[in-house]
Chain A
Amino acid sequence: MKKATFVIFDKSYIIRKGIASIIEKIENTQLIQLIDQEDEILSCIKNDNPDFLIFNPHTLSNVLLNKLSSLTRKTKQIALITDSESIANYSNYAEVIDINNTQSEILKKINQLIGEKEIKKTSYNYHEEISTREADIVKYIALGFSNKEIADKLFLSAHTVVTHRKNITRKLGIKTVPGLTIYAILNKIIDIDDTQ
């Protein structure tokens, strides 16, 4: 699994290190950089493209905040706040961490963020696993069609279908028709009712 990457900005050494030590406790996280200079933030995002940026919005200039909010990169922003304000003020942020939060609260919030990232990956990007063409073939296998029938439907030679099936099995580690059917249902390639 790819690690979730973090960049932390704060002027205070203690706060930077404190947040970092909590994040290090979570599996599959990686701290790219701890920054104390405001002008380094943008270049760091540009170069390292981290998954998460943690900073205190009050310590940044409005110009920089605007620039950050207009960034279209994948970096999600986590607001670090020092006084218990209404969280509603931070609706633009992926998460809000209050400096008075307990360690377990912070761990929970970050774990949740990492979890969301993972779920997105597994549910929409099955194409990373198998190609669209292969997904088509999985669909027909799951629906109970033979190699010959699949070849006719997709205007392929039977030989090509066999090659696709081999590749599918190699990529997924699933060989049997019932196994592929479950894969197809779990990945929403077919609906469970289609198999009845």
Chain B
Amino acid sequence: MIITKEIKMADVIHKNYNTLFILKRFGIELGFGDKTVEDVCEKYKVDVDFFLEILNAYVNHDYFPKKHLQTFSVKLITDYLQKTHQYYHQVKVPEIELLMQEMIHKCYTKKENLELLKRFFEQYKQELLNHTNREEEVVFPYTLAIEKAYLENNPDKSVLKLMKDYSIDIFKDEHDNIEEKLTDLKNIIIKYLPEPKNSELCYRLLQELFILEKDINDHSRIEDKVLVPKIREMEKQISSKLK
């Protein structure tokens, strides 16, 4: 199902409750009565087209944003990506850590196995942090500079040096596989964690890991399919303009 402006926001959630995560990221609160997606977005000053692209890409894996692609500002995209970073570090990761802590606390024998998993997740957390920091400190500022130059009639030549030092294709290459460790962790819990274990907590932990993984994949998809092509096109046009 493709979500459109005219659909009631409440129905969007009924169809797929995972959309709640997205709503929260856009600062949209519950209690919208029978308002449509468009009405709700207007109330919260959210760009409705962008909101729909993100929502549809999230709900439907094969959905490929095209039509509105060029109309969004880079700032809109990077702001959203930055919000997802915050969500990982401030909400998801602490939730998972808390669950692991609880597992260790409620375990009376073989605590060391769980300590291992916890240490492993701590390494992952650091990796994720390095990854998002790099995006926020290097990649996003670069994309914003490119957009600025692109919009100017007579861009400063300094942008050429910027593009020479770094280009969006470098980002694409260095965009490493941040989910690898997460997959490992899931498999260790699903396949190899020996008894005794607290199944209830294991299930909850796995569920959280799956949610985080899906979200990160989705996040990468937006970067690779929306941000990268957009910036690459801008780079090209700037180059030809300044030749």
Q: Which residues of A does B touch, CB under 8 Å? A: 115, 119, 122-123, 172-176, 178-179, 182-183, 185-187, 192
Contacts and interface: CB of A to CB of B under 8 A. Distances in A.
Interface string B185-201: 10110011111000000
Given A178-B123, A179-B181, A179-B184, A173 B191 contact: yes
Nearest to A179: B184
Contact of B116 (A122, A174, A192): A192
A175 B183 contact: yes
A185 B116 contact: yes
B187 A186 contact: no
* B interface: dominant SS: helix
Contacts of A119: 194-195
B117 interface: yes
A178 B181 contact: yes
Interface residues of B, number: 18
B185 A179 contact: yes
B192 A187 contact: yes
Q: Is the interface of A mostly helix, strand, loop or mixed?
A: helix
A119 B195 CA distance: 8
B196 to A, nearest CB: 10
Nearest to A185: B116
Nearest to B190: A173
Contacts of B233: none
Nearest to B124: A178
B120 interface: yes
Contacts of A173: 183-184, 187, 191
A186 B193 contact: yes
